[in-house]
Amino acid sequence: MTPRVRFAPSPTGYLHVGAARTALYNYLFARNNGGAFILRSDDTDKARSTDEFQEDILEHLRWLGLEWDEGFEIGGTHGSYRQSDRYDRYREVAKDLVDRGRAYYSFATAEQLDAFKREAREAGTSPAYDGSLEPSDAEVSERLASGEKAVVRFRVPRPGATEFDDIVRGDMRFEHAQVDDFVILRSDGTPTYHLASTVDDVDYAITHVIRGEDLLSSTPKHILLTEAMGADRVTYAHLSLLMGPDGKKLSKRHGDTAMAAYRETGYLPEALNNYLALLGWNIGDDETIASLDEMIDRFDLSTVSKNPAVFDPKKLEWMNGVYIREMDEAEFVAATLPLVEESVGRTLSEEDRARYAMLVPLVKERAKLLPEVASQARFLFVDIDEYDEKSWSKVMAVEEGPVALDGAIAALEDLDPWTTETIDAALRAMIEERDLSARKGFQPIRVAVSGSMVSPPLFESLEILGRDETLARIRAARSALS
């Protein structure tokens, strides 16, 4: 049997890193088994679902390269794969379950249910609602015929239990005494998540449901519904939730949780996939680098841990740096040139681009995020008419500042040839002669040519900047000091 899995986000929020991991595991499982990866839109919550969230989810799944074979937007043999288009189908299933006695119209009010639960607790019996507050069949028919609204509840068989073997969590058992006769259709005729999700899983011939552990307690309900529909159960795998480094549930407090934010900050999709894959799947240690193809080859749901996984933004940043270093230069230039141009405020000329190409090996080695590259390269292409205040007061407006700048002018003025090596030798001789430490001697030069203390390696930068421009900038800074 070819596996069929689905990722079923509700468009009630941006694609979250935890949801992206769920999507990735579904994708890897499908690809590893030659199965189908299906995307569904669980948009039954009309009040909270928006087109903007839906777009964000699609866009970032595509950005991560998690293309689906069938489903929302691209279609397939099962219609639109959008729950709001399938209300008739859900109502039909609910009606069929009522006709077969597996579900019933319920008139119990919230107050009645509260009282029921309270009394059960006091009496030490099960607080799960079992339908005992409902009127007789005759009265139900009468009230429905007179136009009164009712919800439809699934009749949970009691006594009993639902057991299943979760691929990640192992043997699970839920006593029906703890499961309410749950609502499947609301009184306005809209389906609940339990009904819509289960009907879709059955209709789309899903074989494996891989989703977050927050839905574990819904699973007995889904199994009961599936079997009541006369279908075969699917296999379940519930993934542990993501934690922040402090061991608490991952939330905004820990940093960004929306995939869009990571994309905008300059993360590479390859790094995100790699990092997210490691959150629970024991492919190696937590620094293992693996491409999507390698992960597809090696993916094994049965080795996924049920322990909570820690999402550590620092580790992700480190991994992004690894991926940046692995990019080839052309790819790196293509990804960063637009950022540099945006920062500089103009399109770079051919000559500028040649200078940028010289800088690339230096910045590529060190960058953890792509936008850092723009701020590091910027000095090559703009006039330095302002200096970073902190840098200025720290290294320029001190005794050694003018000494270093005068020394640099003297050492570089007639330097020939102008190469990293000759610049290196000349400036080292200069600081020795003037009895300056490397920091006190070189930092003022760095600030003079780049405007701040943060720039790519100094001697290489000066070579790329050229003699005339280097000297002009050092002289300008020197006169600003006197």
Binding site residues, ligand GLU, CB under 6 A: 8-10, 42, 197, 211, 215
The catalytic residue among 46, 221, 248, 252 is 252
What string of DSSP letters covers 261-310? HHHHHT--HHHHHHHHHHTTB-SSSTT----HHHHHHH--GGGB--SPEE
Q: Which is nearer to ligand GLU, 250 or 271 (CB)?
A: 250
Q: Which is nearer to ligand GLU, 113 or 215 (CB)?
A: 215
Q: How many CB atoms lie within 10 A of CB 284?
A: 11
Q: How many CB atoms lie within 10 A of CB 85?
A: 12
Dihedral (Cα; 34, 207, 37, 270), 10-degree rounding: -80
Residue nearest to ligand GLU (CB): 42
Q: How many CB atoms lie within 10 A of CB 418?
A: 16
Closest distance between ligand GLU and the C-beta of residue 37, in Å? 13
Q: Which is nearer to ligand GLU, 241 or 369 (CB)?
A: 241
Closest distance between ligand GLU and the C-beta of residue 21, in Å? 13
Closest distance between ligand GLU and the C-beta of residue 134, in Å? 29
CA 272 – CA 440 distance, rounded (Å): 40
Q: Which is nearer to ligand GLU, 196 or 465 (CB)?
A: 196
Q: Which is nearer to ligand GLU, 37 or 379 (CB)?
A: 37
Number of alpha carbons in the 13 Å side-chain half-sphere of residue 310: 10
Selection from 317, 365, 370 nearest residue 340 by Cα: 370
Closest distance between ligand GLU and the C-beta of residue 203, in Å? 14
Closest distance between ligand GLU and the C-beta of residue 276, in Å? 17
117 catalytically annotated? no
Closest distance between ligand GLU and the C-beta of residue 56, in Å? 14
Closest distance between ligand GLU and the C-beta of residue 257, in Å? 14
Q: Which is nearer to ligand GLU, 42 or 400 (CB)?
A: 42
Beta bridge partners of 164: 172
Q: Which is nearer to ligand GLU, 157 or 212 (CB)?
A: 212
Helix or strand or coil: residue 169?
A: coil
Q: What is the DSSP letter of 394?
A: I
Closest distance between ligand GLU and the C-beta of residue 4, in Å? 14
What is the C-alpha R_g of the chain?
32
| Token digits of residue 173 | 């058992």
Q: How many CB atoms lie within 10 A of CB 470?
A: 23
CA 118 – CA 125 distance, rounded (Å): 10
Q: What is the DSSP letter of 311?
A: -
Q: Are 319 and 274 in contact (CB under 8 A)?
A: yes
Judge if the upstream peptide bond of residue 402 is cis by omega within 30 degrees of 0.
Answer: no
Selection from 40, 113, 25 nearest residue 72 by Cα: 40
Q: Are 105 and 140 in contact (CB under 8 A)?
A: yes
Judge if the upstream peptide bond of residue 417 is cis by omega within 30 degrees of 0.
Answer: yes
Q: Which is nearer to ligand GLU, 42 or 180 (CB)?
A: 42
Closest distance between ligand GLU and the C-beta of residue 42, in Å? 3
Name every residue whose Cβ is closer than 8 Å to that of residue 14 and which is 6 or more positions away in sequence. Answer: 53, 56, 57, 60, 258, 259, 260
Q: Which is nearer to ligand GLU, 10 or 273 (CB)?
A: 10
User: Counting beta carbons within 10 angstroms of the beta carbon of residue 359, is it exposed (0 to 12), middle (13 to 18) or buried (19 or more)?
Assistant: buried
Dihedral (Cα; 176, 177, 183, 184), 10-degree rounding: 10
CA 196 – CA 265 distance, rounded (Å): 36
Just list the catalytic residues: 252
